[in-house]
């Protein structure tokens, strides 16, 4: 079975592109299963259900959704195998730009919305820089020149990725993504992350609500960049 | 790089899923082809199929061939190899950059010199009323200024053998001059238009309905005469428009 992890900011078009990609995959005889990890609420499962594929959702609640997805990868893969899936498509919540929830052995797909402007590829960090495929969406709303400038910026941030100019409404680009998926190898045994998860070992992580500095322990970074460890 | 001597559009389906009425359309360099039809009939979709060099992978299922062959993937996607320029219907830029920064990035993406930037701005300023400056933020430009800049950018930085133009008449810029600028000799030019003068200035026009091509009409000598009469009328209306724009009075104007 293959593993595809689809990440990108909320509203960038992940579900829309995946819907078209699922149609393409099914047409070529591959049976996909979909997992959607979100924080508090999602109705993406209803959208995927319309395509008649196995769908499972996970809500991470007060945990970083990317961390949650990583902890649960084995269970999710197991579930997909039980569904007899040929490929597991994992749509992430895409909220935390420091987390890039891509294991080494998957196809890492970053979906990014062109209308957010050509500086965005520089802002999204490992989500984009460690992706195999970058899918740009909503090019229908901007001029050709803006699409080309955006593409150039994606290339600057990630030289080696394959860029697909897609459209979540018309489905443009989805068959290309499905083709890449069908050519990729199966997922291995020992997965490890491409990029370390961000520092998150402080009193805020364990529920501290008070803002004043005196209440915080752990690895703390100051606005001037100075990082210290406070505690025992 | 190989020359483009023919662009072919192989028909797909309309919005109801029925085959289009014209099986194949071939266009050669030097020809200007119009695309006409009611609003929502699929004119913009038709030219964006060409821009993407679609291979049956859009809702219209059209296939686009260059010199009789399906183009390879790098030609379809890499702007440095892609030889198609498109002026879309969009009226505004969304990129949060200055005019100069943006044009420099675009020049880089198309392998052009940075000295093209100055040229783009000066050409844009011949098409629009109030000037565009290099340090203007793109997003504050008016619809007309944006369109003028997009058109000039296409003429210089995106200068390509295939040019696609979507409703150049809709932003109050000088449409005939803009068309002349974009449709230089030896290019394959497709112009989407609701304007009778522009439509009749083309050699052939593709008629769209319900998302599909219904027919291709060759402009007859009779229509060319009509076009010349219309041109006079159009220039007259333009001159009135200019006078009114400048705050002048048109009481003396004659109705022809
Ligand atoms: N062959 C087709 N099959 C399915 N949908 C289509 C087809 N052709 C066009 N459409 C859809 O119809 C809608 C209108 O098409 P389009 O924007 O191309 O019209 P237009 O002629 O450019 O209109 P306007 O004059 O208002 O600019 C779009 O949503 C487009 O995706
Ligand atoms: N114009 C345009 N809208 C799009 C495109 N892709 C997605 N959308 C719209 O963007 C919104 C968010 O898309 P969705 O797939 O739910 O994003 P997700 O949160 O990343 O899964 C929806 O309203 C889509 O219809 C596109 O290519 N063009
Ligand atoms: Mg979604
Ligand atoms: Mg249109
Ligand atoms: Zn996180
Ligand atoms: Zn913390």
CATH fold for the domain made of B1-83+160-219: Rossmann fold (3.40.50)
Whether residue A14 is contained in a domain is answered as yes
Distance of CA B97 to CAs A150, A223, B15, B54, B156, Å?
Answer: 12, 27, 38, 31, 20
Cα–Cα distance, A165 to B53 (Å, whole number): 12
The predicted model scores a pTM of 0.88
Q: Which residue of A has its CA nearest to B156?
A: A145
What CATH number is attached to the domain comprising A55? 3.40.50.300
Count of the separate structural domains present in chain A = 2
Out of B58, B86, B102, the one facing A149 most closely (by C-beta) is B102
Say whether both A140 and A47 belong to one domain. Answer: yes
Which tokens in the block code for residue B70? 């399906």
**Can you give the residue ranges of every domain in chain B?**
1-83+160-219, 92-156, 221-256
Pair A153, A220 in one domain:
no
Q: Are B182 and B163 within 8 A, CB to CB?
A: yes
The mean pLDDT of chain A is 89
Q: Are residues A16 and A93 in the same domain?
A: yes
CA distance B100 to B106: 10
Could you report the per-residue pLDDT of A45-95, keeping only the tens digit for each?
899 999 999 999 988 887 778 888 888 889 999 999 999 999 999 998 876
- Say how far apart CA B130 and CA A160 lie, in whole Å: 43
Q: Which pLDDT value is given to residue B256?
A: 57
* ipTM of the prediction: 0.88
* Cβ–Cβ below 8 Å for A118 and B97: yes
What mean pLDDT do residues A11-24 have?
A: 96
Residue A210 DSSP SS3: coil
Q: Which of A5, A9, A11 should be mutated for ligand 2, with most atoms under 8 A from CB? A: A11
Verify that A53 and A99 share a domain, yes or no: yes
Q: How far is the CA of B16 from the centre of ligand 4 (A)?
A: 19
Judge contact between A127 and A74, C-beta under 8 A. Answer: no
Residues 6+ apart with CB under 8 A from B74: B81
The answer to whether residue A219 is domain-embedded is yes
Do residues B20 and B12 touch, judged by C-beta distance below 8 A?
A: yes
**Domain shared by A214 and A151, yes or no:** no
% of chain A at pLDDT higher than 70: 97
Instruction: Domain of residue A24: give its range.
Output: 2-183
Note whether B97 contacts A115, CB cutoff 8 Å: no
pLDDT digits (tens, 9 = 90+) for B19-53: 999 999 999 999 999 999 999 999 999 999 999 99
A188 found inside a domain? no
A62 and A161 assigned to the same domain: yes
Q: What is the largest CA-CA distance in chain B?
A: 60
Out of 1.10.8, 3.30.110, 3.30.70, 2.30.29, select the CATH number for domain B92-156.
Answer: 1.10.8
Measured between beta carbons, the chain A residues lying within 8 angstroms of B59 are 170-171
Q: Which residues in chain B land under pLDDT 50?
A: none
Ligand 2 pocket member A118 (CB < 6 A): no
Mark whether A112 and A150 lie in a shared domain: yes
| A51 plus A16 within the same structural domain | yes
A82 and A146 share one domain = yes
Residues A103, A159 within the same domain: yes
């Amino acid at each position: 079975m293959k593993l595809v992890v689809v990440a990108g900011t909320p509203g960038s078009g992940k579900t829309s592109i995946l819907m078209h990609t699922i149609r393409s995959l099914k047409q070529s005889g591959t049976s996909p299963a979909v997992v959607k990890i979100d924080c508090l609420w999602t109705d993406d499962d209803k959208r995927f259900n319309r395509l008649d594929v196995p769908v499972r959702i996970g809500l991470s609640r007060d945990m970083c959704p990317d961390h949650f997805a990583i902890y649960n990868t084995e269970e999710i893969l197991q579930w997909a195998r039980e569904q007899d899936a040929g490929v597991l498509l994992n749509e992430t919540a895409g909220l935390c730009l420091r987390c890039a929830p891509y294991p080494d052995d998957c196809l890492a797909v970053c979906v990014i919305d062109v209308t957010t402007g050509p500086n965005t590829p520089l802002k999204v960090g490992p989500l984009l820089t460690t992706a195999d495929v970058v899918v740009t969406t909503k090019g229908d709303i901007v001029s050709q020149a803006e699409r080309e400038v955006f593409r150039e910026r994606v290339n600057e941030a990630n030289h080696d990725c394959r860029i697909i100019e897609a459209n979540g409404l018309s489905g443009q680009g989805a068959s290309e993504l499905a083709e890449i998926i069908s050519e990729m190898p199966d997922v291995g045994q020992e997965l490890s992350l491409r990029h370390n998860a961000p520092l998150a070992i402080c009193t805020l992580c364990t529920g501290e609500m008070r803002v004043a500095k005196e209440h915080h322990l752990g690895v703390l970074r100051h606005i001037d960049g100075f990082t210290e460890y406070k505690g025992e | 790089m190989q020359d483009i001597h023919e662009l072919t559009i192989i028909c797909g389906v309309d919005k109801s899923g029925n085959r289009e009425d014209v099986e194949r359309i071939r266009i050669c360099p030097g020809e200007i082809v119009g695309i006409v039809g009611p609003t929502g009939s699929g004119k913009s979709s038709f030219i964006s199929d060409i821009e993407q060099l679609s291979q049956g992978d859009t809702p219209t299922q059209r296939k686009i061939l260059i010199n009789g062959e399906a183009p390879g993937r790098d030609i379809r996607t890499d702007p440095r190899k892609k030889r198609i320029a498109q002026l879309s219907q969009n009226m505004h830029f969304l990129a949060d950059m200055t005019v100069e920064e943006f044009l420099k990035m675009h020049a880089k993406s198309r392998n052009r010199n940075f000295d093209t930037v100055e040229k783009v701005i000066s050409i844009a300023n011949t098409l629009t009323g109030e000037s565009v400056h290099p340090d203007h933020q793109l997003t504050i430009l008016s619809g007309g200024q944006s369109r003028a800049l997009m058109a000039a950018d296409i003429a210089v930085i995106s200068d390509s053998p295939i040019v696609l133009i979507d409703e150049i008449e809709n932003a109050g810029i000088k449409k005939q001059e803009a068309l002349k600028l974009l449709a230089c000799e030896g290019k394959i030019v497709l112009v989407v238009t609701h304007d009778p003068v522009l439509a009749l200035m083309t050699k052939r026009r593709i008629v769209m309905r319900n998302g599909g091509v219904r027919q291709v009409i060759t402009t007859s000598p009779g229509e060319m005469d009509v076009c010349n009469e219309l041109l006079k009328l159009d220039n007259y209306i333009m001159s009135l428009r200019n006078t009114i724009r400048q705050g002048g009075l048109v009481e003396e104007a004659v109705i022809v």
